[in-house]
Homo-oligomer: A and B are copies of this chain.
């Protein structure tokens, strides 16, 4: 078959998670069968149940990994931006540009956001999974909010906007932008929305830009 290279330990479980994530984002969790995952991973059904207690356990593992990964991505972007510019506002603006570029560089259509997918199927999952999803988005919200508050301490806001709402707007634009990117099959939509958000943030904290573009 496809396996010229030897299997490494932990490899199969990872492969199952990768296959499941892609399938869930295309068809939803209920329509993703264990059979198709094991076919893709090249093991038998019992092998699947060695790795996961039941299908709900797969859901939990999927979301745990996704949330952790997303947090790492955002933290990494903020860290890289902080290196480039230590001023909180300009660092944030750099981060948003990096973020937009990251989103623009995805191959093909956007894979989707597992949190949004789970949100629209949450009656399938137990309280633990729903709590995990909430906590994951809360974390994003908190990271943006902390940045915005640090900015506001140095640059008094010129518009009367609530910083919590402005922080939520980042998550909101990402989740909504992914939906539009997918529905229109146009990967430009999401990065453009992020850059528009960047424009909004700039306007909130900075006087109207000088005529020089960027």
Q: A-side interface residues toward B, CB under 8 Å?
A: 25-31, 112, 115-117, 119-124, 133-134, 137-138, 158-162, 165-166, 168-169, 171-177, 179-180, 182-184, 189, 192-193, 195-196, 199-200, 203, 208, 213
Contact A31 B133 (CB under 8 A): no
Interface of A is mostly: helix
Please tell me how many copies of the chain the complex holds.
Answer: 2
Q: In whole angstroms, what is the CA distance A158 to B183 when docked?
A: 31
Please indicate the chain B residues that have their CB under 8 angstroms from the CB of A159 in the complex.
199, 203, 208
With A169-B173, A176-B175 as given contacts, are A28 and B26 in contact (CB-CB < 8 Å)? no
12 more contacts with CB within 8 A, not counting A28-B29, A137-B184, A159-B203, are: A26-B121, A27-B121, A112-B120, A115-B179, A120-B120, A120-B182, A122-B182, A137-B183, A168-B192, A172-B179, A172-B189, A176-B176
